[in-house]
A and B are shown apart, each in its own frame.
Chain A
Amino acid sequence: MKESPSNHIRIAGLLILLVVAFLLDLSAGPVSIPLKGIFRALLSPHGADPTWGFIVRGIRLPKAVTAVLAGCGLSVGGLQMQTLFRNPLADPSILGITAGASLGVAAVMLAGGSMATVFAIEALGVPGSWLIIGAACVGAGAVMLLVLSLSNRLRDNVMMLILGIMIGSITLALISIWQYFSDPEEVKDYLLWTFGSLGGVTGSQLPILAIVVALGLVIAFLSSKMLDALLLGENYARSMGLSARTARLVIVCSTSLLAGSITAFCGPIGFIGIAVPHIARFLFHTANHRRLIPACCLTGAILLLCCDALSQIPGSQSVLPINIITSLVGAPLVIVLLLRQTTIQAW
Chain B
Amino acid sequence: MTRYAVLYLIMLSGCRSADRQMPAAGQATPAAARTRVNYAKGFTIAYYDGYKEVKIPDHAAGAKDTLDYLLLAPGAAIPPGHPHGEVIRIPVQSLVAMGSPQVAEAAFAGVADRITGVGNGRYVFNPLVREGLRSGRVRQVGQETSLNNELLISLRPGVVLTMTDPDAASAQYRTLAEAGIPVLPDGDWLETTPLGKAEWVKLMGALTDREEFVNRRFDTVEQAYLRLAAIGRSAKIKPSVIVEMPFKGTWYMPAGGSFFAQFLRDAGAAYHWNDTNGTGSLAFGFETVAPEALKADFWLDIGDIGSKKDILNVDKRFGAFHAFRTGALYNYNKRVNEAGCNDYWEAGVVNPQWVLGDLIRILHPGLLPADTLVYHKQLK
A residues engaging B (CB < 8 A)? 29-31, 50-51, 54-55, 58-60, 114-116, 119, 122, 127-129, 181, 183-185, 188-189, 192-193, 197, 199-200, 202-203, 312, 317-319
Contact = CB atoms under 8 A, between A and B. Distances in A.
A185 B286 contact: no
B33 interface: no
A122 to B, nearest CB: 7
Name the residue among B286, B295, B304 with the largest chain A CB count within 10 angstroms.
B286
B285 A318 contact: yes
Interface string B207-251: 000000000000000000000000000000000000000011110
B314 interface: yes
Given A184-B144, A193-B248, A203-B316, 16 more contacts: A50-B294, A54-B317, A59-B286, A59-B287, A114-B122, A115-B304, A116-B340, A122-B313, A127-B313, A129-B314, A181-B146, A192-B247, A192-B250, A200-B248, A317-B282, A318-B284
Contacts of A185: 4-5, 8, 11
Q: Would you list the 6 A-B pairs with minimal beta carbon distance, nearest first?
A: A127-B313, A185-B8, A319-B285, A30-B288, A199-B249, A203-B316
9 contacts: A30-B287, A59-B317, A181-B146, A185-B8, A192-B250, A193-B248, A202-B315, A203-B316, A317-B282
Contacts of A202: 315-317
Given A58-B317, A114-B340, A184 B248 contact: no
Contact of A127 (B4, B7, B290, B314): B314
B244 to A, nearest CB: 14
Contacts, number: 89
Given A115-B340, A127-B313, A184-B7, A189 B290 contact: no
A85 to B, nearest CB: 33
Nearest to B146: A181
A226 to B, nearest CB: 38
Nearest to A58: B317
A56 B151 CA distance: 56
A317 B282 CA distance: 10
Name the residue among B4, B5, B249 with the largest chain A CB count within 10 angstroms.
B249
Contacts of B316: 202-203
A69 to B, nearest CB: 17
A261 to B, nearest CB: 18
B172 to A, nearest CB: 14
Contacts of A128: 313-314
Contacts of B310: 122
Interface of B: 1, 4-5, 7-8, 11, 122, 144, 146, 247-250, 282-288, 290-291, 294-295, 304, 310, 313-317, 320, 340
Given A200-B248, A203-B316, A31 B290 contact: yes
B4 A59 contact: no
A188 B4 contact: yes
Nearest to A196: B248
B290 A54 contact: yes
Contacts of A116: 340
Nearest to B313: A127
Contact of A30 (B250, B285, B304): B285
A180 to B, nearest CB: 8
Nearest to A186: B8
Contacts of B314: 127-129
Contacts of B249: 197, 199-200, 319
Contacts of B287: 29-31, 55, 59-60
A203 B282 CA distance: 27
Contacts of A183: 8, 11
B340 A54 contact: no
Given A50-B294, A116-B340, A200-B248, A58 B320 contact: yes
A181 B315 CA distance: 30
Contacts of A29: 285, 287
Contacts of A318: 283-285
Nearest to A130: B313
A329 B125 CA distance: 49
A127 B248 CA distance: 14
Nearest to A51: B291
B27 to A, nearest CB: 40
A30 B35 CA distance: 49
B322 to A, nearest CB: 10
Nearest to A30: B288
Given A50-B294, A58-B320, A129-B314, A31 B248 contact: no
Name the residue among A122, A184, A202, A203 with the largest chain B CB count within 10 angstroms.
A184
A30 B12 CA distance: 32
B8 A59 contact: no
A75 to B, nearest CB: 23
A200 B314 CA distance: 10
B11 A189 contact: no
Contacts of A59: 286-287, 290, 317
Contacts of A50: 294
